[in-house]
Amino acid sequence: MLKYCKQLKHLTIKCATADAIEKLTNLESLECLKFHTGNKISKETIIAISNNCKKLKHLEIPNFQLVLQSVDDDPHTVSRVLDDLSNLEHLEYLNFADCELLQGSTVIAIADKCKYLKYLNVRGHNNLTKLSYDALTKLENLQELTVGCSLAVTNDFVKKLKGLKVFNCDRCLRLTDDGIIQLIKNCPDLERLSLFHVMSITLNTIIAADLETKNRNNGIVLCIRISDAELYEAAGRIITSQWLMTDYSDDPSSIIVTCP
């Protein structure tokens, strides 16, 4: 591949040795690099990606296992190498889903340097703090953001988000109507909003969304996903806006279908 595929732009790695992956990062034309979930990735691999894949626009490393060189290595200290991924300044799509070792310093560095980022997934139990989430509000081109299962995601953070088309905040238990309503007001092009197991959301959010979308002139339907059956039924009775619909699901792995 290194010899004959020098112009390769898209590469998906299901399983490979660290040495092989590091060699593949020398494909300098790579724009899209995907790792299957659960891959074992070494510190040296992350450094190689950061140093060699300067044209990378799309990177997926969900639920990866960080390979330690010795039993004395502190995984949280070693994971700071992920900060180097902020050198990929052309990134538009970044998937860190379910990466338990993800540190706040990595997100802050990426928010500071990866200004073209449009999609970011930091869902799952990780080490992100309120400070690191707040850093994401500096990403002016961000259109789709997935967070989840974090007590550090608060109304104060959500109220600062603007310009989003998709926001997934499943199981963010500190969110309430107050934050979500302001998010809907700040994001007139919002298409999908996932509130699975956000237990404090009430009919007030649906009422506000109904009022906010009623005068939309962009042709975009807002679809709100909820997991409360009673709230879903009540929403169906009060929605009058043609630009608003709700989707009910009690399955956390289900995906909202794109609205017409």
Q: In the chain, which residue ranges form alpha helices assigned H by DSSP? A: 18-24, 43-52, 75-78, 104-113, 130-135, 155-159, 177-186, 203-213, 229-238
Q: Which pTM was predicted?
A: 0.94
Nearest CA to 94 out of 113, 75, 80, 78 is that of 113
Residues 6+ apart with CB under 8 A from 5: 27
- 8 Å CB contact between 94 and 67: no
Distance of CA 43 to the CA centre of its chain: 22
**pLDDT digit string, tens, across residues 98-156:** 999 999 999 999 999 999 999 999 999 999 999 999 999 999 999 999 999 999 999 99
Walk along the chain (260 residues) and give the pLDDT tens digit of each residue.
888 999 999 999 998 888 889 899 999 899 999 999 988 899 999 999 999 999 999 999 999 988 877 766 788 888 999 999 999 999 999 999 999 999 999 999 999 999 999 999 999 999 999 999 999 999 999 999 999 999 999 999 999 999 999 999 999 999 999 999 999 999 999 999 999 999 999 999 999 999 999 999 999 999 999 999 999 999 999 999 999 999 998 875 554 433 32
For 39, the 3-state DSSP assignment is coil
- Please report the domains of the chain, with CATH numbers, ordered by start residue: 10-202 (3.80.10.10)
- 8 Å CB contact between 151 and 126: no
The token pair that represents 196 in the structure block: 């699975």
